[in-house]
C-alpha cells in the first residue's frame, strides 16, 4: 500500500480558524496532540493569533504555522468554499494534495468542510459520493454510522459503496477484520423499509467483499449489533442527532431527579465523579469527530463546539486513518467491487 | 360535534388477544382502567381465558366480554387482517363502526392493527393516508411525533395532512390551543433536507390553519421545541426507535457506572427509587401507546410488551381522544384544508 508509506511521517494539517472556540482551543488541542499523543501537527490559518496562542503554551518552536489569509465563517455553507480558495481549510487540503500533510482536521462548519474537501481533494476513482462516517460509543468497540449527513438524496448503489467506505474505516482505524454491515431501516425482515432500502438490501446481500448482516433498526444503533451501519445521509443525520439529543435528555432528567430529593441528592454527590466520566465518554466530541470518506485524502470534521481534548482526539483519529491507509483500503474495496468487465 | 356526543358513554373495545402478555396482562389492564380511572371497557376475544383472567381479579361482573373466534398472532402482518375477518381486533373495530364502542385498543402487532383498522374502519373522507402518532415524554407537556411508521413512502402533501392529524391530537388529548408544528429534517434553515421535506416546507409555510414553526432536527425531539413533529413514516420510525434505544443505553451505562465503584454504589442505592420512577416515566409504555389517526374511529396501539399499567394508560388515552372528538376535529381540519372549489 504505497499511500501508507507516502504519508507515514507527514503531519496532520489542522485548520486553526474553524470552530466555535478557534483559534484558542484549536491551538490548545494541537499542543495536546503533539505533547501527549506524539501526533505531528501543523496549524493552518492567520499566523499572528496562532502564534500568540502557541506562545501561551510555550509551544511556538514545537508546531509549525502555515499561513492562510482567509477563513470560512461557521455560518458559511458550501458556496463559500468556491469563493474562498485561500481559506484555511482549502490550504489544509492543498497540503494533503502536495503530500506535505497526511490528513486534514477542521472544526469548521460541516457544509463548508465537505464542499471544500470535495473541491480541493476530489473524490477517489470509482467513488460515487463521499460520505460522512461517525463512530458511535458502543462497547466493546465503536460502531461506524454512515452517511451521517453528506448526501440527503442517494441511490441504492451508493448505500453499497457506503458499506465499503465504512468497512475500510472499521478495518483501518479500529482493526476489525471482516466488519459486519447492517442496513438502517424500520423492521428486521428483508422486505421492510422504503424503496431505497429494499433495493439496497438486495444489492448488499449479493455484494462481494461485504459481510452483510441484514437490517438493523433505530434501537440497534447503540447495541453494537453490527460494526458498520449504513443509511442515506438524511436518515443517518436524523438518527445521529436524535441519539445525541436523547442521551443529553436522559442525563438532564437524571440530574433533575437527583436534585429533587435529599437522600437522592446525597447519593448523587457520592457518584458525581463517575457520572461526569460517563457523560464525557458519551460526548460526541470524545468520538474524535466525523470522517469524510471517499476523497483523495483523509478529512476529519471535529465538532463545531470542540475544545482542546476534542481537537486532540480528532488529530489522533486523522493520523491513525491516514497512517493505516484508509484511502488505499477504500481504493482496493471500491476498485474491486466496481472494476469494469475486461474484454481482453 | 355530533361524533363526540355519539360515543360519550360507549366503552373502549380492548383486544384481549393482542400483545406478548395476552390475555393475562391485558385483562389486568382493563380492570385497572375500570376501577382506578373510571374508563368503561369491553374485552374482545376468546371468552374462556378472558373469563378466567377476570375471575382472578373478581371482576367478571364488571367487564363485559365480546366473543371473537380468532386472533392475529404477534408475528402476523398486514395480510392476516384480510384472512381473519373474525379476529379480536377486527371485531373490536366492528364495535366502533356500530357505535357500540368509542375506540379500539390493541397491543397486537402494529402491522396487523394498522391493516385491520384501515380495512374495517376505513380512512376519513379527504385523508390521504392514516398515520401513527406517538407522544414523546417532553416537558412540561408531551410533543406529538408522526408518522411513526405507518407510511414508509409519502408525498409532501401527506406531510401537511400529518400536521393536521397531529394538531388535532394535541388539541383534543392535550388541550393545546394552536399547536406549533415542526418539520423533522437535517438543518434548521428552510432549504435543508431532501426533496420531500423541502417541498413539504413550502407547503406547510403556506398552509392555512397550521402554526408552522419551521424545521426541527433530531436533537429537538425531546426538548419540547414544538408541539407536533412531522416526518415520513420511515424517518419517524427510525427517530423514535433511536430515541428509545438511546435512553435505554444511557440508563444501562449509568447502572454499570454506579456498580463499578463502592461509593458510587452506595449513592446508587440511595437514589434507586427515584431512578426507577424516572425510568418508568421515560418508558414508551407510559406514553399510553401509539395512535392511528385518520380513520373513522380512534385506534390506540399499545406496546407489544405492555403490562397492566401500559394497557390501562392506552385505554385512558383512547377514551380521552374519543370523548374529546379527535375524529371530528380531524374532519374539520382536513375538510377545511381540502374542501373542493365550489362552482355554484
Note the pLDDT of residue B79.
74
- CA A78 distance to own-chain centroid: 18
Rg (CA), chain B: 21
Task: Give yes or no: residues B241 and B341 share one domain.
Answer: no
Task: For residue range A290-313, list pLDDT tens digits in order.
Answer: 999 999 999 999 988 899 999 999
From chain A, the residues in CB contact with B220 under 8 A are: 245
Q: B245–A220: do the CB atoms touch at under 8 Å?
A: yes
Q: What is the pLDDT of residue A284?
A: 60
The CATH number assigned to the domain holding B16 equals 3.40.718.10
Residues A309 and A257 placed together within one structural domain of the fold: no
Residue A220 DSSP one-character state: G
Helices (H), chain A: 2-7, 24-37, 47-56, 80-83, 88-98, 110-121, 156-173, 195-206, 233-260, 262-270, 272-282, 308-323, 326-338
- Number of domains forming the structure of chain A: 2
Task: Report how far residue B1's alpha carbon sits from residue B8's, in angstroms, rounded to the nearest whole number.
Answer: 11
The predicted model gives A243-253 an average pLDDT of 85
Q: Note whether B153 and B114 are same-domain residues.
A: no
Whether chain A has a CB inside 8 Å of the CB on B267: the answer is yes
* Contact flag A249-B195 (C-beta cutoff 8 Å): no
State the nearest Cα–Cα gap between A177 and chain B, in angstroms: 26
Tell me the pLDDT band of A272, cut-offs 50, 70 and 90: low
Nearest of A213, A218, A221, A238 to residue A137 by alpha carbon: A221
Among A273-282, A329-338, B113-122, which range has the highest average pLDDT?
B113-122
pLDDT the model gives residue A72:
85
User: What single string gives the DSSP state of each residue in B230-273?
Assistant: E--HHHHHHHHHHHHHHHHHHHHHHHHHHHHSHHHHHHHHHTHH
Q: Does A286 touch chain B (CB under 8 A)?
A: no
Read off the pLDDT of residues A116-144 as tens digits, 9 standing for 90 and up. 999 999 999 999 999 999 999 888 889 99
Looking at the fold, whether B121 and B141 belong to one and the same domain comes out as: no
A56 in the same domain as A22: yes
Q: In what order do the strands lie in the sheet with B12-15?
A: B65-67, B41-45, B12-15, B103-106, B298-301, B290-293, B131-136, B143-146, B228-230, B180-184, B211-216
Could you read off the pLDDT tens digit of each residue along chain B, which spans 344 residues?
333 334 458 999 999 999 999 999 999 999 999 999 999 999 999 999 999 999 999 999 999 999 998 888 877 767 777 778 899 999 999 999 999 999 999 999 988 999 999 999 999 999 999 999 999 988 888 999 999 999 999 999 999 999 999 999 999 999 999 999 999 999 878 888 999 999 999 999 999 999 999 999 999 999 999 999 999 999 999 999 999 898 888 888 777 776 666 665 656 655 666 666 666 666 666 667 899 999 999 999 999 889 999 999 999 999 999 999 999 999 999 986 555 444 43
A3 and A105 together in one domain = yes
Cα Rg of chain A, angstroms = 21
- Same domain, yes or no: B139 and B266: yes
Residue A212 belongs to a domain = yes
* pLDDT value at residue B282: 67
pLDDT at A262: 62
- Nearest CB neighbour to A246, from listed B184, B243, B254: B243
Tell me how far apart the alpha carbons of residues A303 and A145 are, in angstroms, rounded to a whole number.
16
- Would you state the pLDDT for residue A343? 44
Give contacts of A 43-102 with B, CB under 8 A. Answer: none
Do residues A66 and A80 make contact, with C-beta atoms less than 8 angstroms apart? no
Size of interface A-B (CB pairs under 8 A): 182
Assess if residue B114 is contained within a domain.
yes
**B26 and B107 together in one domain:** yes
Q: Are residues A20 and A48 in the same domain?
A: yes
| Global ipTM | 0.88
In a domain, B278, yes or no: yes
Tell me the residue range of the domain where A314 lies.
1-127+294-324
Evaluate whether residue A168 is within a structural domain. yes
Question: Is residue A271 domain-shared with residue A190, that is, in the same domain?
Answer: yes
Q: Is residue B57 domain-shared with residue B148, that is, in the same domain?
A: no
Which pLDDT score, from 0 to 100, does residue B46 have?
Answer: 97
**pLDDT at site A226:** 97
Domain membership of residue B330 (yes or no) is: no
Amino acid at each position: 500500500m504505497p499511500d501508507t508509506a507516502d504519508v507515514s511521517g507527514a503531519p496532520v494539517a489542522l485548520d486553526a480558524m474553524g470552530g466555535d472556540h478557534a483559534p484558542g482551543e484549536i491551538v490548545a488541542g494541537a499542543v495536546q496532540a503533539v505533547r501527549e499523543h506524539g501526533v505531528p501537527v501543523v496549524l493552518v490559518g492567520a499566523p499572528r493569533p496562532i502564534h500568540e496562542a502557541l506562545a501561551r503554551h510555550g509551544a511556538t518552536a514545537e508546531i509549525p504555522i502555515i499561513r492562510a489569509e482567509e477563513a470560512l465563517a461557521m455560518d458559511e455553507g458550501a458556496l463559500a468554499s468556491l469563493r474562498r480558495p485561500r481559506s484555511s481549510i482549502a490550504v489544509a487540503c492543498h497540503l494533503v494534495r502536495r503530500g506535505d500533510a497526511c490528513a486534514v482536521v477542521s472544526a469548521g462548519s460541516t457544509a463548508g468542510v465537505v464542499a471544500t474537501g470535495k473541491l480541493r481533494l476530489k473524490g477517489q476513482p470509482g467513488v460515487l459520493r463521499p460520505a460522512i462516517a461517525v463512530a458511535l460509543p458502543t462497547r466493546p468497540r465503536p460502531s461506524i454510522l454512515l452517511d451521517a449527513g453528506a448526501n440527503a438524496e442517494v441511490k441504492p448503489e451508493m448505500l453499497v459503496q457506503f458499506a465499503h467506505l465504512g468497512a475500510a474505516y472499521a478495518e483501518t482505524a479500529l482493526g476489525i477484520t471482516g466488519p459486519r454491515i447492517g442496513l438502517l431501516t424500520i423492521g428486521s425482515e428483508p422486505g421492510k423499509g422504503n424503496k431505497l432500502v429494499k433495493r439496497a438490501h438486495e444489492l448488499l446481500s449479493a455484494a462481494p467483499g461485504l459481510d452483510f448482516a441484514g437490517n438493523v433498526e433505530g434501537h440497534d444503533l447503540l447495541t453494537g449489533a453490527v460494526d458498520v451501519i449504513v443509511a442515506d445521509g438524511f436518515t443517518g443525520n436524523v438518527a445521529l442527532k436524535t441519539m445525541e439529543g436523547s442521551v443529553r435528555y436522559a442525563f438532564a432528567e437524571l440530574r433533575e431527579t437527583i436534585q429533587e430529593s435529599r437522600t437522592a441528592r446525597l447519593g448523587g454527590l457520592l457518584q458525581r465523579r463517575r457520572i461526569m466520566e460517563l457523560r464525557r465518554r458519551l460526548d460526541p466530541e470524545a468520538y474524535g469527530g466525523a470522517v469524510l470518506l471517499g476523497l483523495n485524502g483523509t478529512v476529519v470534521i471535529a465538532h463545531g463546539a470542540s475544545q482542546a481534548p476534542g481537537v486532540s482526539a480528532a488529530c489522533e483519529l486523522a493520523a491513525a486513518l491516514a497512517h493505516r491507509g484508509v484511502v488505499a483500503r477504500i481504493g482496493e474495496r471500491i476498485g474491486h467491487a466496481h472494476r469494469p468487465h475486461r474484454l481482453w
